[in-house]
Structure 1
């Protein structure tokens, strides 16, 4: 047993140790020095204006001595003087002078670097030897320095690879580049010289595909952006590799060009390694808004290569669970009302149907969806063909056919027989329609775009001619645009219109509200409603969807990294409306909401979003979600 005095001394020692560790930033001292042992205590800089002291210190070899408490090393000091001079010369300070001095106090040494930056040299660019197919202005634009601007070595160095690729892409596979910087200290100028020897113009030779054979090899060959005899092009090689990899059938794709000799015809070897034939995937998702908690699962199993090498078979299970928390606390979630929504899908996809790049798909599924007004259960079958319209594949066309049948049960008590008949949920729904989608995609990134445009037009025609009982036309155009604002910001905008003309099938009705539409409303709560009184005598309502929809919005996204956290912020304005009849839509009288949010960029499918929205208008009695002004959301992925 420890005595009281021993326990006091032990506690004091522990407190002293903790204090010492805290004083070292959470780390124990690097070493204990014996008295009389010199050590480097500090490194100071004077005269540096262009490069910060912190940046200079990070690049010094003596920084390690400083952190470890070791003595000043004269050899490393000489190296560091050269490093500092080099850092300044790369920024155009050709006459920079760096001197050193030290001060000693006891065993501690302080090292001083005194920097005389001098004037900064200007730059000019000379490019010679370009072949006639290369535009000199295009080559010059690759050097991110205007003549007369201060010299930056990084701009000179970063231009070399793309400039050589520019020449090679014009058919000069054996081009060589000699790049140098000529400095004139007397005139305080630099000349950035790029000299080309393009060599002979080259054509593509024979193509050999290794690793696969038969239809797979033929499909890969069909995606080559060149053929024997075409002029050599680095862009064609890169596009071919991307197109073959985009088939989703190969683990590795290599396009190797034999440029070992100065031959004017270069052979090509395409090396392919098949992906695994079986693949299982799983994922989870969650969302929160003011009225619901949402949990989603997704599990899929696919097999490729049967019955043909270009066939993919798959099955996917999509259960979702929505908890209604209108009158339910968080800790009573298991006692709340809930809406299970389950989908089971089977798919068969055939690549290169009829011709390369044409994809055919057959999808069948079973649905059990508990919605606000009813439970929907049944099956659907769809056929589709996808094909690019342009060589760039930015314009895509989808042609399809849909056949579905659903029963409606557990109809909400607010919906009487007359309303049920008007909505078409008092009998079996037989839906048959032909569908078309035309999409134009000029976004720089489909997940988190910063620049570009996306336009889409969806059409559907249903009727007896398609095997359905509802005669209708569905029209859904959508437009999205993205413009960068500074290095880390994006201004994004979108607009979407939905119209059902003729009959309005229950399962095709429009709803708005939620993380990907009008964020002033909870999921699906911007919609026409049926109003009534609940069992307790309180006013209540149930959403039933509508035949017309408008959604629009604009938001400013930005990124920042406090304490290394990959975060961002957003401010947004959303507008929208859903009406019973498409002809009742009024773009001048939409529901509007403003909001702010935080984002965290840690998932490949997009940011984790925390957002709050405030409705600006149309919150009175008789409006959807009347009386509610605030909505907050937790979701994943960009809003649009």
Structure 2
């Protein structure tokens, strides 16, 4: 005996369930109150009715409003019992206030079929279902002189789901050019190797739907964008508890990228958009690859010049040279942004930023920003050229900053000129920089001599995270190398800094997996006289993203007068255990964290003394990145400190 299964019933949307229930309860309450008022008016003389109206109305309305026509007792193995009760039609209609005996009888007749359909979606095709009912929903309590209804009727449901169905055999049949295309050999093999519902696996409707869609995506995202499912069958043998699966896919013609067609560009030259698209790998003559189109679309958005961008293949054209269509909507030429914020490390923040996307006569982008924080005042400006054929831009930047760390105030100036190549996975920078910085203690009227330097730097950043906004796996590595010359004493120096951050699975055998978040950072400056290197080229530690439990830039080389100077050596290590929070058996967007941070700053390796912070945290996975709240204890400070931040950046 064989039969075809029906799709699983989707979860009823909460937005549609709760308003209906609330409305039903409200109508029941109003009806009960009206009935009680009428009975009280008929039973009592007018004066007594006026005197006792409130008490009688309250006593009658309460049981009527709370009246439930019947209640359900469902007996089944956990967690199947809660799932069935949540989706059963009986439960959804149970609270209707006007449900009568006729409607209940109809529901009881259709309940077995409803439950069988729900069980089939979970892989149970031979269940035993017993439904018993006691009591009547229209019965009155003979011992109650007020005429209130008796206890609601009881519907008792016993479910023995039986064995789970397993996949006995499966087939993926292909038709179209993919059958004979030598270039698609790996694609054909991957379809078979990546199939999830193999023999012996438990069969459910959701897994069957997911497997079909995964196979279709694997075929349509490379070479064959017009691929489609021509036939699919899940043939179920309920007596043997077996599923026989058959999926037929038609590839359609193979497509190659053709010329680029730009739509919506008015202010920018089409060549700029073509460069961004080609840098993503979309070249005429290449086989269609959906991932390359997605990368091109993301490059257009990341450029900051467009409010929206869509890159697609025109499948109505010749498959051998199908045009790639890039539709863009340009952002406004100028933008002024006023920002207000706060953080536990920096306190209140006010910023004013102006962006001009095409400076007249230069066609470069200009950005100017003023930012005021509790301990820092910063003014910077930058000019960036249009992107070239290899993805590089010319950059010019300048910055003025006044920064207070404890009792010390550092005033610095910085000029930078160079080139950069940006991307979501890989970034590179090559630039020359002028630094000048001086530190003073206003309370002691002591000011250090200003230090200045010229230096050349190379920066390289590689990101391999599964999600650049809310990463759960992967790693990132950033390296910076520099060589400079102090201007006062003409002393050469070298500077290096490295950062590494990774997310690794923890306790993978657990049914509720968690992860480790690891972070390492190190930096060093080699100089015969390190005091001559500007403070902006040396290192401080402490605060969110560094060593929690300590203030921002609090960890440095201690001064005899108080405070800390930047050091020539930096070491930071962090280990964090992140565990998702499960609610009703489902993974939520909340996570808990336990962490330990350690960091040290010194001028000599023998003077490195780690400052340790330990603590607990709470995370929320928002669309813009994780919202983090950490409570950390600085072991050396012997004090608690709260840290809050939003977003992920590496």
State the TM-score bracket (shorter-chain normalisation).
Answer: 0.7 to 0.9
1:127 corresponding residue in structure 2: 172
The Cα offsets for residues 34-78 of structure 1, whole Å up to 9 and x where unpaired, read as xxxxx63212323x3265333223323343432233315355555
1:278 corresponding residue in structure 2: 334
Q: Per the alignment, in what secondary structure is the counterpart of residue 111 of structure 1? A: strand
Task: Give runs of aligned pairs for residues 31-180 of structure 1, distance below 5 A.
Answer: 40-46=69-75, 48-49=76-77, 52-71=80-99, 73=103, 80-105=111-136, 106=139, 108-123=152-167, 124-129=169-174, 131=179, 132-136=184-188, 138-177=190-229, 178-180=231-233
2:596 corresponding residue in structure 1: 573
**How many angstroms apart in 2 are the aligned matches of 1:68 and 1:381?**
73
Give the C-alpha shift of residue 79 in structure 1: 5.5
Give the C-alpha shift of residue 358 in structure 1: 1.4
Indicate if the aligned counterparts of 2:368 and 2:381 stay in contact, CA closer than 8 A: yes
Give the C-alpha shift of residue 472 in structure 1: 2.1
Indicate if the aligned counterparts of 2:617 and 2:628 stay in contact, CA closer than 8 A: no
Find out whether 1:303 has 2:326 as its counterpart: no
2:33 corresponding residue in structure 1: none
**How many angstroms apart in 2 are the aligned matches of 1:469 and 1:552?**
34
Indicate if the aligned counterparts of 1:41 and 1:66 stay in contact, CA closer than 8 A: yes
Give the C-alpha shift of residue 87 in structure 1: 1.9
1:609 corresponding residue in structure 2: 629
Residues paired across the two proteins, number: 564
The Cα offsets for residues 421-467 of structure 1, whole Å up to 9 and x where unpaired, read as xxxx5333333221211112112233432111111111222216x99
**How many angstroms apart in 2 are the aligned matches of 1:597 and 1:317?**
32
TM-score (norm 2): 0.77
1:517 corresponding residue in structure 2: 546
Indicate if the aligned counterparts of 1:288 and 1:633 stay in contact, CA closer than 8 A: yes
Indicate if the aligned counterparts of 1:431 and 1:468 stay in contact, CA closer than 8 A: no
**How many angstroms apart in 1 are the aligned matches of 2:49 and 2:458?**
85
Find out whether 1:347 has 2:382 as its counterpart: yes
Q: Per the alignment, in what secondary structure is the counterpart of residue 253 of structure 2? A: coil
Aligned CA RMSD, in angstroms, stands at 3.6
Find out whether 1:491 has 2:535 as its counterpart: no
2:462 corresponding residue in structure 1: 440
Gaps of 5+ in 2: 1-47, 141-151
Give the C-alpha shift of residue 550 in structure 1: 0.8
Give the C-alpha shift of residue 498 in structure 1: 1.2
The Cα offsets for residues 392-440 of structure 1, whole Å up to 9 and x where unpaired, read as 863321111222334545445396xxxxxxxxx5333333221211112
- In structure 2, the CA distance between the partners of 1:279 and 1:489, relative to structure 1 (3 Å rule), is farther
- In structure 2, the CA distance between the partners of 1:8 and 1:385, relative to structure 1 (3 Å rule), is farther
TM-score (norm 1): 0.78
1:544 corresponding residue in structure 2: 565
**How many angstroms apart in 2 are the aligned matches of 1:113 and 1:470?**
87
Q: Per the alignment, in what secondary structure is the counterpart of residue 256 of structure 1? A: strand
2:494 corresponding residue in structure 1: 473
- In structure 2, the CA distance between the partners of 1:126 and 1:575, relative to structure 1 (3 Å rule), is same
The Cα offsets for residues 492-516 of structure 1, whole Å up to 9 and x where unpaired, read as 1121111111133233332222222
1:535 corresponding residue in structure 2: none
1:531 corresponding residue in structure 2: 560
**How many angstroms apart in 2 are the aligned matches of 1:556 and 1:468?**
48
- In structure 2, the CA distance between the partners of 1:570 and 1:283, relative to structure 1 (3 Å rule), is farther
**How many angstroms apart in 2 are the aligned matches of 1:201 and 1:434?**
49
**How many angstroms apart in 1 are the aligned matches of 2:252 and 2:591?**
49
1:463 corresponding residue in structure 2: 485
- Bigger share in helix: 2
Indicate if the aligned counterparts of 1:515 and 1:639 stay in contact, CA closer than 8 A: no
Gaps of 5+ in 1: 21-28, 34-38, 322-339, 416-424, 533-540, 620-627
Task: Give runs of aligned pairs for residues 225-624 of structure 1, distance below 5 A.
Answer: 225-260=281-316, 265-288=321-344, 294-307=347-360, 311-321=364-374, 340-352=375-387, 354-387=388-421, 394-413=425-444, 426-463=448-485, 471-485=492-506, 489-502=514-527, 503=530, 504-531=533-560, 541-560=562-581, 566-581=589-604, 583-584=605-606, 590-602=610-622, 604-615=624-635, 619=636
